[in-house]
Amino acid sequence: MKLISWNVNGLRACMKKGFEDAFYALNADLFCLQETKLQEGQIELDLPGYHQYWNYAEKKGYSGTAVFSRREPLSVTYGMGIEEHDHEGRLITLEFEEFYFVCCYTPNAQNELRRIDYRMSWEDDLRAYLMALDKKKPVIYTGDLNVAHEEIDLKNPGPNRGNAGFSDEERGKMTALLSSGFTDTFRALYPDRTGAYSWWSYRFHARENNAGWRIDYFIVSDRLMDKVAQSDIYPEIHGSDHCPVGLQVEL
Catalytic residues: 105, 144
Would you give the DSSP letter of residue 163?
A: S
Contacts of 132 (CB under 8 A, 6+ apart): none
Would you give the DSSP letter of residue 226?
A: G
Mind giving me the DSSP string for 4-35?
Answer: EEEE-SSHHHHHTTTHHHHHHHH--SEEEEE-
CA nearest neighbour of 224 among 137, 111, 128, 96: 137
Q: What angle do CA 113, 185, 133 make, to 5 degrees?
A: 75
